[in-house]
A and B are shown apart, each in its own frame.
Chain A
Amino acid sequence: MLTVLVSGLAIGALYAATGLAYNIMFSTSKVLSVTTGHICMLGGVFGAYFMLDLGLPAPVALVGAVLVGAAFGLLTEVIAIRRVLARSDEHLWLLSTLALATMVQQAVGLWWGTEPRPFPRLADQDFTAGVLDQKYWLPIAAVVAMALGLEFFYRRTMYGKVFQAVSEDAFAARARGIATDRTRALSFAIAGALGGLAGFAAGQLTFAFFALGLTLTLYGFIALAVGGLGSNVGALVGGVALGLFQTLATYLFGGEYQQTIAVGLLMVVLLVKPEGLFGSKKVRPV
């Protein structure tokens, strides 16, 4: 039972990390990128690639995975977001990020193979450690570090305040001389780096698997929608709740209905509280 809870917490941490990555990108661009889950997938796959195929030590591989994630985040912004936002059609960003996500997933599938591959152990540890196993606490530690780091960044640094200004009102921020385009690109790079970190840390839990991206895009989004769009606390709570809910349901009813249960949770929350648990109600006065 304890193992169930801890594994739920760990997988929930990965969902929460995906939710955080969504939030970072959403705050500056008001875009929910379909590629968010694929960033984490890239972190896991490239981590495994650096360590297994190239034989690099773990810290170097971690830096590499984070850099790949950041590069992909930046690429998303440059290719799929920048031109589309300039044209200001509501739905186009959804199409462009969907296209990019499909391309990345297929490219990784062709290059890396469609079978999930095991992720190497990062620290020396017996497989008998049970609930203390690193595959559980690494993602949890990573997401806690991410959340604390983000909070520090938003509250205490100049750039964090710039981010908040852009997120509050992009036009006003621009009028004050903030380069909103550059801020947006930076936010995508940061989301990419954090997503890469999360994917790397959770690699032993999820394996290096090319189709992970789409699932994470969905679950991260559910975590965010449950917790409340735009709220980091909401992403954490929603992610952990979703993870625990899923593993408990699997424990009680068997593993066949994971997605059905997750989406059921989403639907219930959206019906009862459409803005999510910690979301701010944004009603446009007409």
Chain B
Amino acid sequence: MTTSSLPRLGTLAVGGILAVTLPFWVGDFYQLHLAALIGVYWVLIAGLNLVVGYTGQLSIGHVGLLSIGSYAFAIVVGRYGVDPLLTLALAGALGGLCGFLLGLPSLRLPGFYFAMATMAFALIMAELSLAQGGLTGGGAGLPVPGFAAPFDTPTGFYWLVLLVAALITWMTWNVARLMWGRGLIALRDSEVAAAAVGVPIFRLKLTVFTFSGVTAGIGGALFASLQSYITPETFVFELGLFFFVCIIIGGRGSILGPFVGTVVLTALPEMVAPLAKLGNFFYGLLLLAVVLVVPEGIGHVIKSVLARLQKKGPDPKGLQPDIGRLAAAVRRGMRQDIQRGHAS
């Protein structure tokens, strides 16, 4: 991973500068809005990526958690006049709590059961937001206030989103690349094997799911503020499917892939008018094509193509074992064992 860190850092820096200065070179406010929307989606998807991409738990109902964050923000700020930034944290905490409560029973269920449970959760949330008219405004919806002084313009709001998104990306990156991420991937590939080597399966799943609830709550608060008016119609089940599709198309077990997926899938229907009309049909078709042709996701394809271009090797996946080093390590290990044997 750290072999080519210099070009990687360079790319990251260029990307960061481009993202920060985006309000100055982007064409109009609509495109800025789109960029902010991508950022908001990414806040949620970054957390969901740990659940879907790394842990392999197919949650298709994260839109329910998103709606919780949105309504919490709209109600707390709009009705009680609490500081928006404080409420942002509050929405995250509430989202995390709901994620925890949802995960507690449902993460014990096997694959399809879990997917159905999260889908049911999304439908229940839609139903509750309609039924609890006194709290959520029912079908008529709620107006959502914006943020305070430095973040009240579109540009300021974009920077806030960017800040939050960068922070959460950094956090997920830390989780993914360290011991946690290894545990998650082990869990995804074989639960039995992971349990056998001492990965605390359920606790790990629940922690990651709770974290994804936090990001969903924060994303929901930002989303509500961006939309400035929310109704139960805003949080249709298909939105949850969209988040899920972004990750699967981007590629499981990577952060860059789902990010590219989010950007492309959010921007493409806006840029190409006929696709917007097809909407979910397009997403479904894309998902089907990816699953059938490249189940590892498009990010993986790009990566292997890049690797092939750089190395011109026969097989980008193939590893050449360093026999000498391996033998040395084994010898060293044996020596240590012997020493330990003497010591005891």
Contacts and interface: CB of A to CB of B under 8 A. Distances in A.
A92 B278 CA distance: 24
A89 B241 CA distance: 21
Nearest to B113: A225
B127 A102 contact: no
B280 A105 contact: yes
Interface in A201-245: 214-215, 218, 221-222, 225
Interface in A228-286: 256-260, 262-263, 266-267, 270-271, 286
Contact of A91 (B109, B111, B120, B192): B111
A106 interface: yes
A52 interface: no
Interface stretch (B158-166, B202-210, B283-291, B304-312): B283-291
B105 A95 contact: no
Interface residues of A, number: 41
Give the interface residue-count category, chain B: 35 or more
A150 interface: no
Contacts of B60: 98
B237 interface: yes
A124 interface: no
Nearest to A284: B192
A41 interface: no
B81 interface: no
Given A94-B112, A221-B116, A270-B109, A256 B291 contact: no
B291 to A, nearest CB: 5
A270 B121 CA distance: 16
Interface in B86-136: 105, 109, 111-113, 115-117, 119-121, 123-124, 127-128, 130-131
Contacts of A257: 127-128, 131
Contacts of B127: 256-260
Prevailing SS type, chain B contact patch: helix
Given A84-B291, A102-B283, A105-B280, A259 B116 contact: no
A138 to B, nearest CB: 27
A135 to B, nearest CB: 24
B128 A260 contact: yes
A257 B125 CA distance: 10
Nearest to A89: B295
Contact of A218 (B58, B119, B277): B119
Contact of A103 (B105, B285, B291): B285
25 contacts: A79-B288, A84-B291, A87-B295, A91-B56, A92-B291, A94-B58, A94-B111, A95-B291, A96-B292, A98-B284, A98-B287, A99-B285, A102-B241, A102-B280, A102-B287, A103-B281, A106-B280, A110-B277, A215-B123, A218-B116, A218-B120, A221-B116, A257-B127, A263-B117, A270-B113
